[in-house]
A and B are shown apart, each in its own frame.
Chain A
Amino acid sequence: MNKIHKKIWTLTTVILLIMAAIWITLTYYNQKTQNQYNEILQRYLRMNEVTRTSQQMIADLNNYFITPIPENLDKLNKSRGKIENAKREVSYLRNSENDFALTNYMNLIDSLVETTDRSLLYFNEKETEDSAKEFSEATRISMYISEMTLTLIDSELNTYERLYRGIIDQSEEIKKLGIWLMLMITCLLMFLTYGFSLSITKPVQKLTQAANELSRGRFHLPIKVDSNDEIAFLAQTFDRMRININNLISEIQHKAQLEHELQESKLLLKESQLLNLQSQINPHFLFNTLNTLSKKAYLEGSHETSDLLVSVAGLLRYNLKRLDRPVTLREEVMVLQQYMDIQKARFTDRLHLKMSIDETCLNVDIPGLTLQPIIENAVNYAVEPREDGGIIWFRIQDGNDCVIIEVEDDGPGIEEFKIKQILQGQFIQKDGNSTGIGFTNVVRRLRLFYGNEDVMNIESSAAGTKVVITIPKDRRGAA
């Protein structure tokens, strides 16, 4: 959860470490150089110290000779101590190249001290002349010491020249190194910072893009962020939200579609009823009249006419009643038979109907007035136009989990594009030579009723047309 936090800390620590390392190195180097400088200076100062103290001692000796009081003697002794000290210090400066000269130098200091002592001794013993002689010698030695100091410093310079030049060169190198180092660190830090900022902004950018897509209503694009910080977590939650929304939307769409289908089926039903009503001026009057005609015909001995009229009346009643609710196949078949009775009366020998019905299949549900229009169609196209009539086969078979209804004729067949139009629900019948309920209507109702597009199939050739309706035994999904 603290990934970005950690990243910032890491970056800062790295920068800090680099800086600290550089600082330590430079400080260490500086210290080293400083020490070297100090050492060099120390060498010169020590040598100079010898010259100074030797001169001081001569001056003190002289002072004592002029005014021989204990304070001056003290001073002399003090500077004597100093020169001994200086000598000890100088002895540390020994190296292989100034070995000889340094030994001489130190011996010279010894000689100076001894000569001074002797001079003092003679002075105390009142041997003024000897004392003066020794004093002049001491003065000379002091001078020699000064000279030798210069010589030593000179040789020191020669010996250490390379060292000095090295130091100068090195400081130059360090300056250059500083520039290069700064360039490199700048480069490195820029890279680090770039990578770091990218690792934060890139997921954010992706997220923004995804949000944009969502706001445009594109819910199907998955949101993927390959980072290991909070942004990735955010992206995951966001993605989950997207999926949820997507699911909800598809659910709503599905529901809307169902609603739409329902509406459509209702509309179709209304249309059937409307067509029916239009064609029935006064169905009850017609129905009563037909019954009266039937009785009359029966009384007059025309049994055949009477039966026909009964059939017409039954058909009429069925039409009035059954249009808006599902019926069993059995009822549908019964109506079909009545209808065929009427048609037989009309076509007599020209119409041959051959039925083969599997009685076990007659209990399935089917929308009302679906078979009659199909048969009517077959009669209209396969029998009516032909002088010598035609044959119509009607079969109901058991197809395991479904019932197969076949209506076959030996008519001239239907053109291919018409079949397509019918199956797509676009075909519109023009002639009024029917009960009014069109083929198209039947197809659509069947489909809506069973929720299945493949309910009807039409095979047609020059030798006849076969309409196959496949009805599932168990109606799935309540429409």
Chain B
Amino acid sequence: MRKTGILVFCLTCIVLGYFTFTLSKKAFTSEWDLPAVSDGQEAKYRLVLITQELETPFWDKAGIAAQEQARKDGASLEVWGSYGKNQEEFLKKLEIAIQSKVDGIIVQGLDTQEFKDLTKIKAAFYGIPIITVANDVAKSESLRKTYVGSDQYLAGQLIAKQLLDDMGYKGKVILMGDKHKEFYQRQRLDGIHEVLKDYPNIQTVYAETTDVREEIIAATQNMLNQNPDTDSFIAIKANIAGAMIQEIGRRSQVEPYYIYSFDDGPDSISLLTQGKLDGIIEQSPEKMGSLSVELILKWLRDEEVPLKSEGYLTDIRILKAMEKQ
């Protein structure tokens, strides 16, 4: 009786002891892996990539490539920007970057006075180098170090040639552009005109609109009303394409029209795969990201001074709906 009592007691003690021990081990060993305290001694270059359209396929690719390159070169880079071409937010980010005295800014060019003021006065005041990427702003107006991106003039030419290939040498083309003609759009337009001016049978109509969806739709309606015999559309600004095609689709079939655009819009690729776009100009966002980082670091390290002011051009090619499918 006494023996069993002691045995039961010992067992209880062991069980209790085991639980207590494991619990105390759990309770008193902290497994918090706090982020390592940075020594702050490392003279790392702090770079910022600022775009107007975060989380679009195009800029995601560019951002990832830039970060990859920055890591390789031992610099730190953050991607900032606004969503959906919110210029106010975009400019604010740019100003914060300048006021934060980062070592270099890689920015999607915006052809507005505010942008130019910031780059020309503020950035220059703090001595921060600026490289425009994807969309350029003339060096004289922005004091950018260089431009990394596609040759928009060439892009315009390519798209015009593709149009000729597809449509033939006769027809009516509606060119939809932004009311606020940015530098890169002007270049694209120039490229297109350069090719088409040799073909008198091709008639071009230029329409202007803003970023607001309703206005794009209104402008498209207007164009279709005025030019019922049109054969082709070219969206100079990729963002316009979505709303434009939607409106065309409401009127009639989309297929008969030859519609072209660029790949830097949020829905460019999906429109192409749906077959609504006949072709887009595909640029090289990865190349843009990595090359811009590489160049700005070279500039910061005095390895390549000065940078080519006319810019470093990345590859472009035409991507047709057929190929995508």
Contact = CB atoms under 8 A, between A and B. Distances in A.
B34 to A, nearest CB: 6
Contacts of A105: 100
A339 to B, nearest CB: 80
B101 interface: yes
Contacts of A91: 40
B2 to A, nearest CB: 10
Interface in B20-47: 20, 23-24, 26-28, 30-38, 40, 46
A97 B36 CA distance: 8
B96 interface: yes
B9 interface: yes
Interface string A155-179: 0000110110010001001101100
Contact of A187 (B12, B33, B35, B99): B12
A111 B16 contact: no
Contact of A173 (B26, B33, B96): B26
The bracket for how many chain B residues form the interface is: 20 to 34
Nearest to A174: B27
B35 A170 contact: no
A347 interface: no
Interface string B103-130: 0000000000000000000000000000
B35 A159 contact: yes
B78 A29 contact: no
A96 interface: yes
B23 A144 contact: no
Given A104-B46, A163-B34, A173-B26, A94 B40 contact: yes
Q: Is the interface of A mostly helix, strand, loop or mixed?
A: helix
A100 B46 contact: yes
B99 A108 contact: yes
Contacts of A95: 34-38
B232 interface: no
B37 A96 contact: yes
A173 B99 CA distance: 47
Given A107-B101, A180-B16, A184-B13, A94 B46 contact: no
Contacts of B96: 104, 108, 144, 148
Interface string B278-315: 00000000000000000000000000000000000000
Nearest to A33: B30
B202 to A, nearest CB: 50
B19 interface: yes
Interface of A: 25, 29, 91, 94-101, 103-105, 107-108, 110-112, 140-141, 144, 148, 159-160, 162-163, 166, 170, 173-174, 176-177, 180-181, 183-184, 187-188, 191
6 contacts: A25-B28, A95-B38, A99-B76, A104-B100, A162-B33, A184-B20
